[in-house]
């Protein structure tokens, strides 16, 4: 049974009552929906020679992160040679593939990503896979197909400059999908007058429970978002928070009714500010990371259309900005990884910066950071893992886990059952305590 883990103020993340000894990682942002784990005893000094438990070669690249439930890992995948999309289940302890399903033909629509970028979700019984071509499929954990739908075919082709990659959310017995897109065709995809919307389904059957249109005044590419919705408790009640289309908004989970909205970081309606980072909540505020080296905004949610009084603070230091990675929240603070300023910062809920550390090297860090065991784990495009001390920001270790073929690693490292799991362009890696 789910319970609320409350922070100092009225806004907190919703999470299950989980053991501190071992946690599943059931969806992209983890068991607490904020990129953090409560597990302990993860290594600070890591290297492929000492800490690589197993490595599973993959048929193709993807930005989707591994999802862990008990002794099973679920992974959205691609087959580059056969130009197809896959759903995989892997034994957590050995790296053995337990089952694999081909979902559809297709591989990519642009040169920066592919159709297997959204991460799957599971409640330990049902696992749902979503893809950039609208394919949505559910299985039980043994691999038995339960249902399958194509959201593009049902509600219209997605209208995005790049490839759709928002991950689904599974919360309180409901499956949530967001499609925040253009209202006109782009690259001959989409349709004139196309709507942005939130979709809620029953995970066991795939039946639509509600569809909520999300209007916005954003223009052109600024209507597009690759973020993932998160659940937040506001005033003692759960809400589904969505960011994109130049604004942040909250919805009632059972009906889809919009409760509030705040905007905007884009008052002049610049048309090329697509949004990638997901919202993250903690200690009374919700962060929205505006794109293209813009500030991070901390918003106090409420009711109706919120004005400037709802803005708790906006970052002024260039280091506290993120165009792609989603911040983590842990120990009462936010950890903001800036791919544009090449820095990691620990930021208090009031906006003050506790420390900032430059990320080493010249290679980009677009994967979202993981907080686990008083450490921050990050990975760059080449598969180089850097571990930071969460207390002071000092670098604890650096190690190259990628291969020469790994050029665009974007999946975040996840922590579960005593191990770290990293998905590169070519492999799925299990990283653990020193291997004898």
DSSP structural state of residue 138? E
Q: Is residue 58 in a domain? A: yes
147, with CB counted inside 10 A (0-12, 13-18, 19+), is middle
pLDDT tens, position by position, 301-312 = 999 999 999 999
User: Hunting for tokens 């990293």 — which residue is that?
Assistant: 422
DSSP state at residue 202? -
Counted domains in the chain: 1
CATH code assigned at 385? 2.130.10.10
User: What's the average model confidence in pLDDT over 231-238?
Assistant: 94
Other Cβ atoms closer than 10 A to 350: 11
What is the separation, in whole angstroms, between the first and last Cα of the chain? Answer: 39
- In tens, the pLDDT along 173-184 reads 999 999 999 999
Place of tokens 């642009």: 110
Contacts of 315 (CB under 8 A, 6+ apart): 295, 296, 297, 321, 336, 347, 351
| Res 427 pLDDT > 90 | yes
Residue 191 domain flag: no
Is pLDDT above 50 for 4?
A: no
- Express each pLDDT in 77-101 by its tens digit: 999 999 999 999 999 999 999 999 9
Q: What's the burial of 49, exposed, middle or buried (CB within 10 Å: 0-12/13-18/19+)?
A: exposed
Whether 15 shows a pLDDT value over 80: the answer reads: no
Residues 374, 395: contact at Cβ < 8 Å? no
Distance CA(384)–CA(408), nearest Å, equals 11
Residue range(s) defining the domain that contains residue 77: 2-151+228-431
- pLDDT-derived band at 435, boundaries 50, 70, 90: low
Asked if residues 352 and 371 have their Cβ atoms less than 8 Å apart, the reply is no
Global pTM reads 0.94
For the record, the structure tokens of 436 come out as 């004898």
Count other Cβ atoms within 10 Å, centred on residue 342: 16
| 416 within a domain of the structure (yes/no) | yes
- Shortest CA distance to 88 belongs to which of 49, 53, 60? 60
16: pLDDT strictly greater than 90: no
Return the pLDDT at 12.
43
Residue 8 has pLDDT above 50, yes or no: no
Rounded Cα gap, residues 389 and 395, in angstroms: 6
Separation between Cα atoms, residue 299 and residue 42, nearest integer Å? 33
Residue with the two structure tokens 């495009």: 381
pLDDT one-digit tens code per residue, 131-170: 999 999 999 999 999 999 999 999 999 999 999 999 999 9
Return d(Cα 398, Cα 251) in angstroms, integer: 41
Residue 237 in domain: yes
DSSP strand pairing (370-372 vs 353-358): unpaired
CA distances from 370 to 61, 335, 341, 376, 405 (A): 21, 9, 19, 5, 24
Q: Coil, strand, or helix at residue 55?
A: strand
Whole-number Å distance between alpha carbons of 108 and 72: 27
**pLDDT of 282-302, one tens digit each?**
999 999 999 999 999 999 999
CA distances in angstroms from 268 to 33, 124, 261, 277, 333, listed in the order given: 32, 45, 18, 21, 31
Order the strands of the 84-91 sheet from edge to edge.
Answer: 67-69, 72-79, 84-91, 97-105
Mark 257-273 as b/e (b = at least 16 C-beta within 10 Å). ebbbbbbbbbeeebeeb
Contact (Cβ atoms closer than 8 angstroms) between residue 352 and residue 315: no
User: Quick check: is 54 in a domain?
Assistant: yes
Residues 344-377: tens digit of each pLDDT? 999 999 999 999 999 999 999 999 999 999 999 9
Confidence label for 109 from pLDDT (cuts 50, 70 and 90): confident
User: 353 in a domain, yes or no?
Assistant: yes
Closest listed residue to residue 327, CA positions, set 378, 361, 388, 293: 378
């Amino acid at each position: 049974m789910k319970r609320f883990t409350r922070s100092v103020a009225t806004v907190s993340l919703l999470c299950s009552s989980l053991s501190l000894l071992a946690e599943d990682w059931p969806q992209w942002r983890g068991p607490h929906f904020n990129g953090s784990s409560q597990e302990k005893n993860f290594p600070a000094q890591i290297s492929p020679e000492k800490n690589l438990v197993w490595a599973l070669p993959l048929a193709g690249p993807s930005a989707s992160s591994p999802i862990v439930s008990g002794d099973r890992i679920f992974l959205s995948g691609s087959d580059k040679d056969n130009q197809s999309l896959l759903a995989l289940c892997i034994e957590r302890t050995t790296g053995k593939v337990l089952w694999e399903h081909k979902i559809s033909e297709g591989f990519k629509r642009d040169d920066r990503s592919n159709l297997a970028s959204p991460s799957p979700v599971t409640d330990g019984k049902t696992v749902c896979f979503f893809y950039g071509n609208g394919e949505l499929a559910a299985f039980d954990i043994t691999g038995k197909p339960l249902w399958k739908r194509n959201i593009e075919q049902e509600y219209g082709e997605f209208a995005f400059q790049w490839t759709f990659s928002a991950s689904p959310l599974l919360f309180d017995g409901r499956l949530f999908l967001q499609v925040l897109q253009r209202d006109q065709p782009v690259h001959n995809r989409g349709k004139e007058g196309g709507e942005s919307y939130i979709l809620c389904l029953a995970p066991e059957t795939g039946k639509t429970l509600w569809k909520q249109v999300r209007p916005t005044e954003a223009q052109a590419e600024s209507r597009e978002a690759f973020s993932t919705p998160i659940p937040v408790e506001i005033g003692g009640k759960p809400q589904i928070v969505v960011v994109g289309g130049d604004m942040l908004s909250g919805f009632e989970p059972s009906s889809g009714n919009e409760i509030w909205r705040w905007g905007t970081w884009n008052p002049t309606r610049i048309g090329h500010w697509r949004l990638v980072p997901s919202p993250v909540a903690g200690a009374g505020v919700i962060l929205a990371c505006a794109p293209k080296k813009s500030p991070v905004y901390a918003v106090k949610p409420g009711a109706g259309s919120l004005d400037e009084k709802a803005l708790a603070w906006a970052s002024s230091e260039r280091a506290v900005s993120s165009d792609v990675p989603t911040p983590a929240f842990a120990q009462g603070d936010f950890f903001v990884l800036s791919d544009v300023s090449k820095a990691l910062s620990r930021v208090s809920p009031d906006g003050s910066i506790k420390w900032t550390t430059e990320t080493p090297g010249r290679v980009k860090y677009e994967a979202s950071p993981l907080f686990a065991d008083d450490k921050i784990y990050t990975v760059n495009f080449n598969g180089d893992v850097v571990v930071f001390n969460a207390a002071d920001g000092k670098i604890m270790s650096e190690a190259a886990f990628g291969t020469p073929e790994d050029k665009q690693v974007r999946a975040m490292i996840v922590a579960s059952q005593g191990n770290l799991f990293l998905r590169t362009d070519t492999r799925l890696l299990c990283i653990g305590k020193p291997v004898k």
